[in-house]
Amino acid sequence: MRRPQVPAADAVIGVRHPVLDHGFVVLVDYMGNDSAIVQAARVSYGAGTKTLRDDRGLIRYLLRHQHTTPFEMVEYKFLVRLPIYIARQWVRHRTASLNEYSARYSIVPDEFDLPGPERVLGQSTQNRQGRGEALPMDAVNAFRADLERVSTDAYGAYVRALESGVARETARLLLPLAYYTQWYWKINLHNLFHFLSLRLDPHAQDEIRQYAAVIATLAKSVCPTAFEAFEEFQLSGITLGQREQRAVASLLDGATFEKACEAAGIALNREDGKPMVSGEGVEFRDKLARIRTLPTSI
């Protein structure tokens, strides 16, 4: 049996795709393709009995109904260079194999992330872990100057520590989160879909979304049909809870949004009568807004 090959993916293997100031993503290797997903799903029936159209329909069925095992037959290996503060978010996904550059054995390069002014924003008033509105330029410039100064001073102290004989595993404590690390990251397609559904979401931090977007493009080159289904049913899909479904039923019967939510038990106002700025009611309103702005044709 020959190893499946995808010309579009083979063309980008080993190519560095820049992200942020000094980061990049490289597709190192892959195993399997769309056909591997179909083959795994049809293992009980034998191969070679279906058309490409049937294969597409099967992949879309598997994803819609969350039959995930066939997607685990496809694997990717990436080389990723990224700031430490993004790496600490990334490893929250415990469904991949990871081997990171070790500052215990090697010298950390003098490269740190210095966000542009457009990335330095105020704290969000609706999301406790996100950014919000623009800040005055004097505050933006002061932050960027402080970050550059602190990072430069820290690396100077790091070098001095190494020169004085301090062990690398101890000297690295001087370096801030803005410095870069890199790793090999291997993951199957099912778990990659989960990673991307979270890290491509508008609520994810902008920097990790940039990495996720590059990874999605590279991974799509291997399994374009599976990614078409993922983008439609997972990435662009909308999940409605039981109360939200009740509210939708009321809306279809002609109720106003407020009455529909009231009938379904979805709160829109706080106890003091003021409108909520977060919570189920706000999220339900956002879901309806997404549906209203969908294109009328594909």
List pLDDT tens digits, range 8-67: 999 999 999 999 999 999 999 999 999 999 999 987 555 554 666 688 999 999 999 999
Q: Are residues 101 and 121 in the same domain?
A: no
Please tell me which of 151-155, 268-272, 287-291 the model is most confident about, judged by mean pLDDT: 151-155
Last residue of a domain, one of 216, 235, 254: 235
The predicted structure's pLDDT at residue 125? 76
Cα–Cα nearest to 215, from 44, 77, 43, 37? 77
Q: Are residues 89 and 132 in the same domain?
A: no
Last residue of a domain, one of 174, 200, 216: 174
Report if residue 112 sits inside a domain: no
The per-residue pLDDT of the chain, averaged, comes to 92
Tell me how far apart the alpha carbons of residues 30 and 215 are, in angstroms, rounded to a whole number.
Answer: 13
Q: Are residues 29 and 54 in the same domain?
A: yes
Q: Are residues 59 and 191 in the same domain?
A: yes
The predicted structure's pLDDT at residue 45? 55
Q: Are residues 85 and 186 in the same domain?
A: yes
Give 298's pLDDT tier (boundaries 50, 70, 90): very low
The predicted structure's pLDDT at residue 86? 97
Q: Are residues 35 and 146 in the same domain?
A: no
Q: Are residues 22 and 84 in the same domain?
A: yes
Report if residue 218 sits inside a domain: yes
pTM: 0.89
Q: Tell me, what CATH number does 46's domain have?
A: 3.30.1360.170
Q: Are residues 55 and 84 in the same domain?
A: yes
Q: Which residue has better confidence, 166 or 45?
A: 166
Report if residue 263 sits inside a domain: yes
Q: Are residues 100 and 188 in the same domain?
A: yes
Report if residue 298 sits inside a domain: no
Report if residue 17 sits inside a domain: yes
Report if residue 110 sits inside a domain: no
Identify the domain containing residue 221 by its residue range: 7-105+179-235
Count structural domains, the chain.
Answer: 3
Bridge-based pairing state of the strands 121-123 and 97-100: unpaired
Q: Taking residues 112-137, what's their average pLDDT?
A: 86
Cα–Cα nearest to 33, from 194, 235, 216, 225? 225
Q: Are residues 21 and 49 in the same domain?
A: yes
Give 2's pLDDT tier (boundaries 50, 70, 90): confident
199 is catalytic: yes
Q: Which residue has better confidence, 85 or 132?
A: 85
Q: Are residues 20 and 49 in the same domain?
A: yes
Last residue of a domain, one of 153, 174, 195: 174
Catalytic residue among 53, 88, 92, 199: 199
Tell me how far apart the alpha carbons of residues 239 and 253 are, in angstroms, rounded to a whole number.
Answer: 21
Tell me how far apart the alpha carbons of residues 140 and 134 are, in angstroms, rounded to a whole number.
Answer: 9
Q: Which residue has better confidence, 298 or 12?
A: 12
- The token pair at 105 is 């054995």
Interval 82-115: pLDDT, tens: 999 999 999 999 899 999 999 999 999 999 999 9
The predicted structure's pLDDT at residue 81? 98
Q: Are residues 32 and 98 in the same domain?
A: yes
Bridge-based pairing state of the strands 97-100 and 180-188: antiparallel
Tell me how far apart the alpha carbons of residues 206 and 116 are, in angstroms, rounded to a whole number.
Answer: 12
Interval 199-222: pLDDT, tens: 999 889 999 999 999 999 999 999
Report if residue 2 sits inside a domain: no
The predicted structure's pLDDT at residue 47? 53
Report if residue 111 sits inside a domain: no
Dihedral over alpha carbons 73, 79, 85, 89 (to 10 degrees): 0
